[in-house]
Chain A
Amino acid sequence: MEMIRFENVYKEYAHNITGLADVSLVINKGGFAFLCGPSGAGKTTIMRLVFSAEKPTSGRIFISEEEITDISLRQVPYLRRHIGMVFQDFRLLTDRTIFDNLNLILLVLGIPSAERKRRCLSVLSQVGLAHRRNAYPLQLSGGEQQRIAIARAIIADPLILLADEPTGNLDPDTSWDILQTLRQINARGTTVVVATHNYGLVRRLHAKLFYLRKGRLLPKEEYPQILYHEGETMEEEVVLPTLESTPPEKSILAKDSVPKAINYQGGFEPPPPPPDAR
Protein backbone atom coordinates (compact mmCIF):
# COMPACT_ATOMS: atom_id res chain seq x y z
CA MET A 1 0.00 0.00 0.00
CA GLU A 2 1.29 3.43 -0.87
CA MET A 3 1.50 5.87 2.03
CA ILE A 4 2.99 8.93 0.32
CA ARG A 5 2.78 9.58 -3.40
CA PHE A 6 3.96 12.70 -5.25
CA GLU A 7 3.07 12.99 -8.94
CA ASN A 8 5.05 15.59 -10.91
CA VAL A 9 4.96 18.05 -8.05
CA TYR A 10 6.17 21.58 -8.63
CA LYS A 11 6.41 24.23 -5.96
CA GLU A 12 7.34 27.74 -6.84
CA TYR A 13 7.68 30.61 -4.42
CA ALA A 14 7.45 34.32 -5.06
CA HIS A 15 10.23 35.91 -7.17
CA ASN A 16 10.54 32.73 -9.26
CA ILE A 17 12.26 30.79 -6.52
CA THR A 18 11.94 27.08 -7.19
CA GLY A 19 11.05 24.92 -4.20
CA LEU A 20 10.46 21.69 -6.06
CA ALA A 21 10.58 20.87 -9.74
CA ASP A 22 8.87 17.80 -11.17
CA VAL A 23 9.21 15.61 -8.10
CA SER A 24 7.57 12.20 -8.29
CA LEU A 25 8.09 9.71 -5.51
CA VAL A 26 6.38 6.89 -3.69
CA ILE A 27 6.94 5.77 -0.12
CA ASN A 28 5.12 2.61 0.87
CA LYS A 29 3.27 1.96 4.09
CA GLY A 30 5.70 0.80 6.71
CA GLY A 31 8.60 2.21 4.74
CA PHE A 32 11.56 4.13 6.09
CA ALA A 33 12.95 6.80 3.79
CA PHE A 34 15.68 9.39 3.93
CA LEU A 35 15.44 12.71 2.16
CA CYS A 36 18.96 13.96 1.53
CA GLY A 37 20.54 16.88 -0.21
CA PRO A 38 22.16 20.24 0.48
CA SER A 39 20.35 23.03 2.27
CA GLY A 40 17.64 24.56 0.15
CA ALA A 41 17.34 21.43 -2.00
CA GLY A 42 13.67 20.99 -1.13
CA LYS A 43 13.68 18.44 1.72
CA THR A 44 11.63 20.61 4.03
CA THR A 45 9.35 21.63 1.19
CA ILE A 46 8.44 17.97 0.60
CA MET A 47 7.59 17.59 4.28
CA ARG A 48 5.53 20.77 4.34
CA LEU A 49 3.59 19.55 1.34
CA VAL A 50 2.92 16.22 3.06
CA PHE A 51 1.33 17.87 6.09
CA SER A 52 -0.32 20.45 3.87
CA ALA A 53 1.39 23.50 5.33
CA GLU A 54 1.80 24.43 1.68
CA LYS A 55 0.04 23.58 -1.51
CA PRO A 56 1.90 22.52 -4.65
CA THR A 57 1.97 24.92 -7.59
CA SER A 58 1.12 21.96 -9.78
CA GLY A 59 1.12 18.18 -9.55
CA ARG A 60 -0.75 15.86 -7.24
CA ILE A 61 -0.12 14.55 -3.74
CA PHE A 62 -1.68 11.45 -2.17
CA ILE A 63 -1.51 10.35 1.44
CA SER A 64 -2.68 6.84 2.26
CA GLU A 65 -4.05 6.71 -1.28
CA GLU A 66 -6.25 9.76 -0.77
CA GLU A 67 -5.57 12.90 -2.73
CA ILE A 68 -4.72 15.86 -0.50
CA THR A 69 -3.55 18.26 -3.20
CA ASP A 70 -6.43 20.66 -2.79
CA ILE A 71 -7.87 19.92 0.61
CA SER A 72 -9.48 22.87 2.36
CA LEU A 73 -8.01 24.69 5.34
CA ARG A 74 -10.71 23.07 7.46
CA GLN A 75 -9.58 19.57 6.55
CA VAL A 76 -5.92 20.24 7.26
CA PRO A 77 -6.16 19.58 11.04
CA TYR A 78 -7.71 16.18 10.43
CA LEU A 79 -4.96 15.23 7.98
CA ARG A 80 -2.31 16.31 10.50
CA ARG A 81 -3.69 14.06 13.18
CA HIS A 82 -2.35 11.16 11.14
CA ILE A 83 1.06 12.72 10.75
CA GLY A 84 3.56 13.04 13.56
CA MET A 85 6.26 15.67 13.19
CA VAL A 86 9.71 16.04 14.69
CA PHE A 87 11.89 19.09 14.12
CA GLN A 88 15.53 19.96 14.55
CA ASP A 89 14.65 22.54 17.21
CA PHE A 90 12.21 20.17 19.00
CA ARG A 91 9.42 22.80 19.13
CA LEU A 92 8.18 21.90 22.58
CA LEU A 93 6.16 24.34 24.65
CA THR A 94 8.82 25.47 27.06
CA ASP A 95 6.35 26.84 29.58
CA ARG A 96 4.56 23.51 29.95
CA THR A 97 5.69 20.34 31.64
CA ILE A 98 6.61 17.31 29.56
CA PHE A 99 3.33 15.71 30.55
CA ASP A 100 1.33 18.77 29.49
CA ASN A 101 3.16 18.90 26.16
CA LEU A 102 1.97 15.39 25.39
CA ASN A 103 -1.43 15.76 27.01
CA LEU A 104 -2.22 18.72 24.78
CA ILE A 105 -2.10 16.54 21.67
CA LEU A 106 -4.65 14.13 23.09
CA LEU A 107 -6.85 17.03 24.22
CA VAL A 108 -6.86 18.25 20.66
CA LEU A 109 -8.07 14.83 19.59
CA GLY A 110 -10.83 14.87 22.21
CA ILE A 111 -9.56 11.82 24.08
CA PRO A 112 -10.99 11.36 27.60
CA SER A 113 -8.89 12.27 30.61
CA ALA A 114 -8.12 8.81 31.97
CA GLU A 115 -7.08 7.52 28.55
CA ARG A 116 -4.94 10.63 28.05
CA LYS A 117 -3.01 9.97 31.20
CA ARG A 118 -2.51 6.31 30.36
CA ARG A 119 -1.24 7.10 26.90
CA CYS A 120 1.08 9.88 28.03
CA LEU A 121 2.73 7.62 30.58
CA SER A 122 2.86 4.73 28.12
CA VAL A 123 4.53 6.75 25.40
CA LEU A 124 6.91 8.40 27.88
CA SER A 125 8.07 5.04 29.11
CA GLN A 126 8.60 3.94 25.53
CA VAL A 127 11.10 6.75 25.03
CA GLY A 128 12.50 6.05 28.51
CA LEU A 129 11.56 9.38 30.08
CA ALA A 130 8.52 8.58 32.23
CA HIS A 131 10.43 9.75 35.31
CA ARG A 132 10.85 13.24 33.82
CA ARG A 133 7.17 13.83 33.13
CA ASN A 134 6.92 16.78 35.53
CA ALA A 135 10.07 18.47 34.26
CA TYR A 136 10.05 21.39 31.84
CA PRO A 137 11.62 20.95 28.40
CA LEU A 138 14.56 23.25 29.09
CA GLN A 139 15.52 21.14 32.10
CA LEU A 140 16.24 18.25 29.74
CA SER A 141 19.22 17.61 27.48
CA GLY A 142 18.87 18.07 23.73
CA GLY A 143 18.60 14.32 23.17
CA GLU A 144 15.94 14.02 25.86
CA GLN A 145 13.98 16.91 24.40
CA GLN A 146 14.07 15.25 21.01
CA ARG A 147 12.78 12.02 22.58
CA ILE A 148 9.89 14.01 24.05
CA ALA A 149 9.25 15.51 20.62
CA ILE A 150 9.20 11.98 19.17
CA ALA A 151 6.88 10.82 21.94
CA ARG A 152 4.59 13.70 21.08
CA ALA A 153 4.74 12.81 17.39
CA ILE A 154 3.72 9.18 17.94
CA ILE A 155 1.27 9.58 20.82
CA ALA A 156 -1.69 9.70 18.44
CA ASP A 157 -0.41 6.62 16.61
CA PRO A 158 0.12 8.38 13.29
CA LEU A 159 0.33 6.75 9.88
CA ILE A 160 3.36 8.84 9.03
CA LEU A 161 6.20 10.26 11.08
CA LEU A 162 8.08 13.15 9.48
CA ALA A 163 11.40 14.08 11.02
CA ASP A 164 13.10 17.20 9.70
CA GLU A 165 16.79 17.14 10.64
CA PRO A 166 15.95 15.36 13.89
CA THR A 167 19.60 14.97 14.79
CA GLY A 168 20.77 18.39 13.63
CA ASN A 169 21.36 19.65 17.15
CA LEU A 170 22.61 16.41 18.67
CA ASP A 171 25.96 14.68 19.18
CA PRO A 172 26.72 11.52 17.13
CA ASP A 173 25.87 8.95 19.83
CA THR A 174 22.60 10.64 20.71
CA SER A 175 21.84 10.95 17.01
CA TRP A 176 22.22 7.23 16.58
CA ASP A 177 19.91 6.59 19.54
CA ILE A 178 17.29 8.88 18.08
CA LEU A 179 17.53 7.15 14.72
CA GLN A 180 17.14 3.76 16.41
CA THR A 181 14.02 5.03 18.16
CA LEU A 182 12.63 6.16 14.82
CA ARG A 183 13.48 2.77 13.38
CA GLN A 184 11.57 1.04 16.16
CA ILE A 185 8.56 3.23 15.56
CA ASN A 186 8.84 2.27 11.92
CA ALA A 187 8.96 -1.40 12.91
CA ARG A 188 5.49 -1.03 14.40
CA GLY A 189 4.01 0.04 11.09
CA THR A 190 4.41 3.81 11.01
CA THR A 191 5.88 5.12 7.79
CA VAL A 192 8.93 7.22 8.70
CA VAL A 193 10.50 9.94 6.56
CA VAL A 194 13.70 11.55 7.78
CA ALA A 195 15.26 14.61 6.15
CA THR A 196 18.89 14.78 7.07
CA HIS A 197 22.35 16.14 6.32
CA ASN A 198 23.87 13.48 8.47
CA TYR A 199 25.20 11.13 5.81
CA GLY A 200 26.93 9.04 8.46
CA LEU A 201 23.53 7.99 9.73
CA VAL A 202 22.33 7.36 6.19
CA ARG A 203 25.28 5.08 5.52
CA ARG A 204 24.68 3.12 8.69
CA LEU A 205 20.99 2.56 8.20
CA HIS A 206 20.10 0.97 4.90
CA ALA A 207 16.86 2.55 3.91
CA LYS A 208 15.13 4.04 0.93
CA LEU A 209 16.92 7.16 -0.17
CA PHE A 210 15.89 10.26 -2.09
CA TYR A 211 18.52 12.78 -3.02
CA LEU A 212 17.45 16.29 -3.95
CA ARG A 213 19.39 19.08 -5.56
CA LYS A 214 17.88 22.47 -6.36
CA GLY A 215 14.37 21.14 -5.98
CA ARG A 216 14.93 18.16 -8.29
CA LEU A 217 15.09 14.52 -7.37
CA LEU A 218 18.33 13.12 -8.82
CA PRO A 219 18.25 9.77 -10.64
CA LYS A 220 19.83 7.02 -8.54
CA GLU A 221 22.94 6.80 -10.73
CA GLU A 222 23.80 10.38 -9.84
CA TYR A 223 23.57 10.01 -6.06
CA PRO A 224 26.84 11.11 -4.45
CA GLN A 225 29.10 8.29 -3.27
CA ILE A 226 29.21 9.88 0.21
CA LEU A 227 25.83 8.30 0.89
CA TYR A 228 27.26 4.79 0.64
CA HIS A 229 29.93 2.73 2.23
CA GLU A 230 32.78 2.03 -0.12
CA GLY A 231 31.83 -0.48 -2.75
CA GLU A 232 28.13 -0.40 -1.89
CA THR A 233 25.37 0.96 -4.06
CA MET A 234 21.78 1.91 -3.56
CA GLU A 235 19.84 -0.46 -1.37
CA GLU A 236 16.26 -1.11 -2.15
CA GLU A 237 13.77 0.02 0.45
CA VAL A 238 13.78 -2.18 3.50
CA VAL A 239 10.27 -2.91 4.71
CA LEU A 240 10.31 -4.47 8.13
CA PRO A 241 7.50 -6.77 9.18
CA THR A 242 4.96 -4.62 10.94
CA LEU A 243 2.83 -5.23 14.02
CA GLU A 244 -0.04 -3.05 12.89
CA SER A 245 -0.83 -3.27 9.24
CA THR A 246 -4.53 -2.46 9.17
CA PRO A 247 -5.19 0.43 6.83
CA PRO A 248 -7.61 3.08 8.11
CA GLU A 249 -11.24 2.15 7.53
CA LYS A 250 -12.37 5.74 7.11
CA SER A 251 -11.03 8.57 5.07
CA ILE A 252 -7.96 9.98 6.77
CA LEU A 253 -9.64 13.37 6.46
CA ALA A 254 -12.67 12.29 8.49
CA LYS A 255 -13.10 14.08 11.80
CA ASP A 256 -13.16 10.90 13.87
CA SER A 257 -10.67 8.77 11.99
CA VAL A 258 -8.09 8.83 14.78
CA PRO A 259 -8.42 5.87 17.17
CA LYS A 260 -9.57 6.93 20.64
CA ALA A 261 -7.70 4.11 22.33
CA ILE A 262 -4.57 2.30 21.28
CA ASN A 263 -3.17 -0.88 22.65
CA TYR A 264 0.56 -0.50 22.60
CA GLN A 265 2.50 -3.71 22.62
CA GLY A 266 4.76 -2.78 25.47
CA GLY A 267 7.77 -0.47 25.30
CA PHE A 268 10.71 -0.32 22.96
CA GLU A 269 13.82 -2.30 23.37
CA PRO A 270 16.92 -0.30 24.20
CA PRO A 271 18.65 0.82 21.01
CA PRO A 272 21.35 -1.58 19.84
CA PRO A 273 24.94 -0.32 19.83
CA PRO A 274 26.15 1.22 16.59
CA PRO A 275 27.11 -1.52 14.12
CA ASP A 276 30.48 0.00 13.44
CA ALA A 277 32.58 2.85 14.69
CA ARG A 278 32.65 4.92 11.53
Chain B
Amino acid sequence: MANTGYFLKEALAGFSRGKAATSSAIAITTFTFLILAVFLLIAHNLRLIIIEAKKEVSIEAYIYEGVANPQYLGKKILDIEGVAGVEYISKEDAEEEFRSSFENDASLLEVLEKNYFPASYRIKLSEEMHSPQGVAEVASKVVALKEVEDVDYMREWLDNLTSTIHIIQVVGLVVGILLGLISIVVIGNAIRLTVLARSERISIMRLVGATSGFVRIPFLIEGLLVGIIGGAMAVGLVYLGCWLLNREALLTISYLPGSYNLALVGSAGLIGVLGAFTAVRKHLKV
Protein backbone atom coordinates (compact mmCIF):
# COMPACT_ATOMS: atom_id res chain seq x y z
CA MET B 1 0.00 0.00 0.00
CA ALA B 2 1.39 3.32 -1.12
CA ASN B 3 -0.34 5.11 1.73
CA THR B 4 0.95 2.99 4.62
CA GLY B 5 3.65 5.50 5.42
CA TYR B 6 1.16 8.32 5.41
CA PHE B 7 -1.26 6.43 7.66
CA LEU B 8 1.42 5.61 10.21
CA LYS B 9 2.84 9.11 10.16
CA GLU B 10 -0.62 10.57 10.53
CA ALA B 11 -1.48 8.25 13.44
CA LEU B 12 1.71 9.16 15.27
CA ALA B 13 1.18 12.84 14.51
CA GLY B 14 -2.31 12.58 16.01
CA PHE B 15 -0.69 10.98 18.99
CA SER B 16 1.69 13.82 19.66
CA ARG B 17 -0.66 16.65 18.59
CA GLY B 18 -3.56 15.64 20.80
CA LYS B 19 -1.36 15.14 23.84
CA ALA B 20 -3.93 15.92 26.53
CA ALA B 21 -6.78 13.93 25.01
CA THR B 22 -4.56 11.02 23.98
CA SER B 23 -2.79 10.69 27.30
CA SER B 24 -6.07 10.81 29.18
CA ALA B 25 -7.41 8.09 26.87
CA ILE B 26 -4.34 5.99 27.64
CA ALA B 27 -4.70 6.66 31.36
CA ILE B 28 -8.36 5.64 31.29
CA THR B 29 -7.52 2.47 29.36
CA THR B 30 -4.75 1.67 31.83
CA PHE B 31 -7.06 2.20 34.78
CA THR B 32 -9.96 0.09 33.48
CA PHE B 33 -7.63 -2.69 32.40
CA LEU B 34 -5.82 -2.52 35.72
CA ILE B 35 -9.09 -3.34 37.44
CA LEU B 36 -9.73 -6.12 34.95
CA ALA B 37 -6.22 -7.52 35.36
CA VAL B 38 -6.32 -7.44 39.16
CA PHE B 39 -9.62 -9.24 39.01
CA LEU B 40 -8.18 -11.84 36.65
CA LEU B 41 -5.16 -12.21 38.93
CA ILE B 42 -7.39 -12.95 41.91
CA ALA B 43 -9.45 -15.43 39.91
CA HIS B 44 -6.31 -17.08 38.58
CA ASN B 45 -4.79 -17.48 42.04
CA LEU B 46 -8.02 -18.84 43.49
CA ARG B 47 -8.10 -21.38 40.69
CA LEU B 48 -4.55 -22.47 41.47
CA ILE B 49 -5.40 -22.83 45.16
CA ILE B 50 -8.38 -24.98 44.27
CA ILE B 51 -6.34 -27.17 41.93
CA GLU B 52 -3.83 -27.69 44.74
CA ALA B 53 -6.61 -28.46 47.22
CA LYS B 54 -8.15 -30.99 44.91
CA LYS B 55 -4.91 -32.90 44.75
CA GLU B 56 -5.40 -33.57 48.44
CA VAL B 57 -8.64 -35.42 47.80
CA SER B 58 -8.17 -39.00 49.01
CA ILE B 59 -10.26 -41.88 50.30
CA GLU B 60 -9.37 -43.62 53.50
CA ALA B 61 -10.47 -47.31 53.36
CA TYR B 62 -10.44 -49.01 56.78
CA ILE B 63 -9.70 -52.71 56.72
CA TYR B 64 -11.33 -55.36 58.93
CA GLU B 65 -9.16 -56.76 61.73
CA GLY B 66 -7.49 -59.95 60.72
CA VAL B 67 -7.39 -59.56 56.93
CA ALA B 68 -4.54 -61.83 56.10
CA ASN B 69 -3.20 -60.43 52.82
CA PRO B 70 -3.46 -56.63 52.63
CA GLN B 71 -1.21 -56.50 49.51
CA TYR B 72 -3.83 -58.48 47.59
CA LEU B 73 -6.50 -55.98 48.70
CA GLY B 74 -4.22 -53.17 47.58
CA LYS B 75 -4.08 -54.65 44.08
CA LYS B 76 -7.85 -55.01 43.98
CA ILE B 77 -8.26 -51.33 44.93
CA LEU B 78 -5.73 -50.28 42.32
CA ASP B 79 -7.80 -52.10 39.71
CA ILE B 80 -10.79 -49.86 40.43
CA GLU B 81 -11.23 -47.23 37.72
CA GLY B 82 -10.12 -43.77 38.80
CA VAL B 83 -7.64 -44.91 41.43
CA ALA B 84 -4.22 -43.40 40.84
CA GLY B 85 -2.33 -44.91 43.77
CA VAL B 86 -2.66 -46.58 47.13
CA GLU B 87 -0.67 -46.34 50.32
CA TYR B 88 -0.93 -49.00 53.01
CA ILE B 89 -1.12 -47.72 56.56
CA SER B 90 -0.69 -50.48 59.15
CA LYS B 91 -2.17 -50.33 62.66
CA GLU B 92 1.25 -49.22 63.93
CA ASP B 93 1.60 -46.50 61.32
CA ALA B 94 -1.85 -45.21 62.21
CA GLU B 95 -1.01 -45.03 65.89
CA GLU B 96 2.26 -43.33 65.14
CA GLU B 97 0.50 -40.81 62.93
CA PHE B 98 -1.99 -40.09 65.69
CA ARG B 99 0.70 -39.74 68.33
CA SER B 100 2.78 -37.37 66.27
CA SER B 101 -0.19 -35.13 65.50
CA PHE B 102 -1.19 -34.94 69.17
CA GLU B 103 2.25 -35.07 70.76
CA ASN B 104 1.63 -31.90 72.76
CA ASP B 105 -1.55 -33.28 74.26
CA ALA B 106 -0.32 -35.69 76.93
CA SER B 107 -3.74 -36.23 78.50
CA LEU B 108 -5.16 -37.49 75.22
CA LEU B 109 -2.25 -39.83 74.66
CA GLU B 110 -2.53 -41.26 78.21
CA VAL B 111 -5.99 -42.60 77.46
CA LEU B 112 -4.53 -44.50 74.54
CA GLU B 113 -3.68 -47.75 76.33
CA LYS B 114 -4.18 -50.01 73.40
CA ASN B 115 -3.93 -49.53 69.66
CA TYR B 116 -7.53 -49.05 68.57
CA PHE B 117 -6.59 -47.90 65.07
CA PRO B 118 -7.52 -50.09 62.15
CA ALA B 119 -5.14 -50.65 59.27
CA SER B 120 -6.16 -48.76 56.17
CA TYR B 121 -5.43 -47.91 52.60
CA ARG B 122 -5.08 -44.23 51.65
CA ILE B 123 -6.35 -44.02 48.06
CA LYS B 124 -5.23 -41.27 45.69
CA LEU B 125 -7.58 -40.51 42.82
CA SER B 126 -6.79 -39.70 39.24
CA GLU B 127 -7.61 -36.13 38.19
CA GLU B 128 -10.88 -36.84 36.41
CA MET B 129 -12.24 -38.37 39.64
CA HIS B 130 -11.66 -35.21 41.72
CA SER B 131 -15.31 -34.18 41.50
CA PRO B 132 -17.62 -35.08 44.41
CA GLN B 133 -19.46 -37.52 42.13
CA GLY B 134 -16.21 -39.19 41.11
CA VAL B 135 -15.00 -39.54 44.68
CA ALA B 136 -18.34 -40.96 45.79
CA GLU B 137 -18.31 -43.40 42.88
CA VAL B 138 -14.86 -44.73 43.73
CA ALA B 139 -15.70 -44.81 47.45
CA SER B 140 -18.81 -46.91 46.83
CA LYS B 141 -16.77 -49.41 44.82
CA VAL B 142 -14.13 -49.57 47.54
CA VAL B 143 -16.63 -50.07 50.35
CA ALA B 144 -18.18 -52.92 48.40
CA LEU B 145 -14.98 -54.95 48.80
CA LYS B 146 -15.48 -57.53 51.53
CA GLU B 147 -12.19 -56.71 53.27
CA VAL B 148 -13.16 -53.05 53.69
CA GLU B 149 -15.04 -52.11 56.83
CA ASP B 150 -15.72 -48.47 56.01
CA VAL B 151 -14.51 -45.51 53.94
CA ASP B 152 -13.98 -41.86 54.82
CA TYR B 153 -13.43 -39.12 52.27
CA MET B 154 -14.18 -35.65 53.71
CA ARG B 155 -17.47 -35.44 51.92
CA GLU B 156 -18.45 -32.11 53.47
CA TRP B 157 -15.16 -30.46 52.72
CA LEU B 158 -15.39 -31.58 49.12
CA ASP B 159 -18.95 -30.36 48.77
CA ASN B 160 -18.00 -26.97 50.19
CA LEU B 161 -15.04 -26.71 47.88
CA THR B 162 -17.21 -27.52 44.89
CA SER B 163 -19.85 -24.93 45.68
CA THR B 164 -17.11 -22.37 46.34
CA ILE B 165 -15.65 -23.03 42.91
CA HIS B 166 -19.08 -22.68 41.39
CA ILE B 167 -19.69 -19.33 43.09
CA ILE B 168 -16.28 -18.05 42.05
CA GLN B 169 -16.92 -19.05 38.45
CA VAL B 170 -20.34 -17.36 38.26
CA VAL B 171 -19.23 -14.20 40.04
CA GLY B 172 -16.09 -14.16 37.95
CA LEU B 173 -18.00 -14.41 34.70
CA VAL B 174 -20.50 -11.68 35.67
CA VAL B 175 -17.88 -9.27 37.02
CA GLY B 176 -15.60 -9.97 34.07
CA ILE B 177 -18.33 -9.26 31.53
CA LEU B 178 -19.40 -6.11 33.38
CA LEU B 179 -15.85 -4.81 33.57
CA GLY B 180 -15.36 -5.61 29.89
CA LEU B 181 -18.50 -3.68 28.89
CA ILE B 182 -17.62 -0.74 31.11
CA SER B 183 -14.15 -0.57 29.64
CA ILE B 184 -15.58 -0.55 26.10
CA VAL B 185 -17.82 2.41 26.93
CA VAL B 186 -15.24 4.32 28.94
CA ILE B 187 -12.36 3.82 26.52
CA GLY B 188 -14.66 4.49 23.57
CA ASN B 189 -15.61 7.86 25.08
CA ALA B 190 -12.01 8.77 25.79
CA ILE B 191 -11.09 8.09 22.16
CA ARG B 192 -14.18 10.00 21.03
CA LEU B 193 -12.64 13.10 22.63
CA THR B 194 -9.41 12.67 20.68
CA VAL B 195 -11.45 12.41 17.47
CA LEU B 196 -13.70 15.34 18.33
CA ALA B 197 -10.64 17.56 18.53
CA ARG B 198 -10.05 16.80 14.86
CA SER B 199 -13.59 16.81 13.48
CA GLU B 200 -12.74 19.86 11.35
CA ARG B 201 -9.90 17.95 9.79
CA ILE B 202 -12.20 15.02 9.03
CA SER B 203 -14.78 17.25 7.39
CA ILE B 204 -12.14 19.00 5.27
CA MET B 205 -10.79 15.66 4.11
CA ARG B 206 -14.29 14.55 3.22
CA LEU B 207 -14.84 17.74 1.24
CA VAL B 208 -11.80 17.11 -0.91
CA GLY B 209 -12.95 13.62 -1.80
CA ALA B 210 -11.20 11.38 0.71
CA THR B 211 -12.92 8.03 1.06
CA SER B 212 -14.10 7.11 4.53
CA GLY B 213 -11.44 4.40 4.71
CA PHE B 214 -8.72 6.91 3.99
CA VAL B 215 -9.96 9.24 6.73
CA ARG B 216 -10.55 6.43 9.18
CA ILE B 217 -7.35 4.38 9.04
CA PRO B 218 -5.04 6.79 10.92
CA PHE B 219 -7.63 7.05 13.69
CA LEU B 220 -7.91 3.27 13.88
CA ILE B 221 -4.14 2.95 14.18
CA GLU B 222 -4.19 5.61 16.87
CA GLY B 223 -6.97 3.78 18.74
CA LEU B 224 -4.99 0.56 18.46
CA LEU B 225 -1.91 2.27 19.92
CA VAL B 226 -3.91 3.84 22.75
CA GLY B 227 -5.40 0.45 23.61
CA ILE B 228 -2.14 -1.47 23.39
CA ILE B 229 -0.19 1.06 25.43
CA GLY B 230 -2.94 1.29 28.06
CA GLY B 231 -3.31 -2.50 28.22
CA ALA B 232 0.44 -3.06 28.41
CA MET B 233 0.76 -0.50 31.20
CA ALA B 234 -2.02 -2.23 33.16
CA VAL B 235 -0.35 -5.62 32.71
CA GLY B 236 3.00 -4.13 33.69
CA LEU B 237 1.56 -2.54 36.83
CA VAL B 238 -0.04 -5.82 37.90
CA TYR B 239 3.25 -7.61 37.30
CA LEU B 240 5.07 -5.02 39.37
CA GLY B 241 2.48 -5.34 42.13
CA CYS B 242 2.87 -9.14 42.23
CA TRP B 243 6.62 -8.81 42.29
CA LEU B 244 6.54 -6.34 45.18
CA LEU B 245 4.09 -8.45 47.23
CA ASN B 246 6.17 -11.57 46.65
CA ARG B 247 9.42 -9.80 47.45
CA GLU B 248 8.09 -8.36 50.67
CA ALA B 249 6.71 -11.84 51.39
CA LEU B 250 3.34 -10.33 52.17
CA LEU B 251 1.59 -12.85 49.98
CA THR B 252 2.67 -15.57 47.62
CA ILE B 253 1.01 -14.72 44.38
CA SER B 254 1.31 -16.47 41.07
CA TYR B 255 1.81 -14.12 38.11
CA LEU B 256 -0.81 -14.05 35.39
CA PRO B 257 0.18 -16.50 32.67
CA GLY B 258 1.54 -15.02 29.43
CA SER B 259 -1.56 -15.96 27.48
CA TYR B 260 -3.73 -13.92 29.86
CA ASN B 261 -1.43 -10.94 29.51
CA LEU B 262 -1.48 -11.22 25.73
CA ALA B 263 -5.27 -11.51 25.77
CA LEU B 264 -5.53 -8.41 27.98
CA VAL B 265 -3.26 -6.30 25.78
CA GLY B 266 -4.94 -7.65 22.65
CA SER B 267 -8.45 -6.90 23.83
CA ALA B 268 -7.37 -3.43 24.94
CA GLY B 269 -6.08 -2.85 21.41
CA LEU B 270 -9.31 -4.18 19.94
CA ILE B 271 -11.42 -1.94 22.16
CA GLY B 272 -9.24 0.99 21.10
CA VAL B 273 -9.87 0.21 17.43
CA LEU B 274 -13.61 -0.25 17.97
CA GLY B 275 -13.81 2.98 19.96
CA ALA B 276 -12.02 4.89 17.22
CA PHE B 277 -14.21 3.30 14.55
CA THR B 278 -17.48 4.36 16.16
CA ALA B 279 -16.12 7.78 17.08
CA VAL B 280 -15.00 8.55 13.51
CA ARG B 281 -18.13 7.13 11.94
CA LYS B 282 -20.20 9.93 13.42
CA HIS B 283 -18.05 12.56 11.73
CA LEU B 284 -17.90 10.80 8.39
CA LYS B 285 -21.53 11.41 7.55
CA VAL B 286 -20.81 14.59 5.60
Contacts and interface: CB of A to CB of B under 8 A. Distances in A.
Nearest to B2: A110
Contact of B207 (A74, A78, A80, A95): A80
B2 A112 contact: yes
Given A53-B286, A93-B201, A95-B17, A110 B3 contact: yes
Interface in A65-79: 73-74, 77-79
Contacts of B17: 95
Interface in B193-228: 200-201, 204-212, 214
B208 A80 contact: yes
B286 A105 contact: no
Contact of B205 (A53, A74, A78, A108): A108
Contacts of A55: none
B6 interface: yes
A95 B18 CA distance: 11
B3 A77 contact: no
Nearest to B201: A93
Contact of A77 (B200, B201, B210): B210
B209 A91 contact: no
Contacts of A83: 209
Nearest to A112: B2
Contacts of A140: none
B204 A77 contact: no
Given A91-B204, A93-B201, A95-B17, A108 B286 contact: no
Interface in B228-286: 285-286
Contacts of A107: 3, 6
Interface residues of A, number: 24
A152 interface: yes
Interface residues of B, number: 18
A262 to B, nearest CB: 16
Interface of A is mostly: loop
Interface in B1-45: 2-3, 6, 17
A109 interface: yes
Contact of A104 (B2, B206, B208): B208
A77 B6 contact: no
Contact of A108 (B200, B214, B285): B214
B186 to A, nearest CB: 28
B255 to A, nearest CB: 43
Contact of B209 (A74, A80, A92, A112): A80
A51 B207 contact: yes
A10 B285 CA distance: 21
A91 B214 contact: no
A93 B201 CA distance: 7
A93 B204 contact: yes
A152 B286 contact: no
B209 A78 contact: yes
Contacts of A79: 209
B201 A81 contact: no
Contacts of B210: 77, 108
Contacts of A112: 2
Contacts of B286: 53
A104 B207 CA distance: 12
Given A91-B204, A95-B17, A109 B3 contact: no
Given A108-B214, A110-B2, A91 B205 contact: no
22 contacts: A51-B207, A73-B285, A74-B211, A77-B206, A77-B209, A77-B211, A80-B206, A80-B207, A80-B208, A81-B209, A85-B207, A85-B208, A91-B204, A93-B204, A105-B208, A107-B3, A108-B209, A108-B211, A108-B214, A109-B209, A112-B2, A152-B208
Interface of B: 2-3, 6, 17, 200-201, 204-212, 214, 285-286
9 shortest A-B CB distances, which residue pairs?
A: A80-B209, A81-B209, A108-B210, A77-B209, A77-B211, A105-B208, A91-B204, A85-B207, A107-B6
Given A80-B207, A91-B207, A110-B2, 5 more contacts: A77-B206, A95-B17, A105-B209, A108-B209, A109-B209
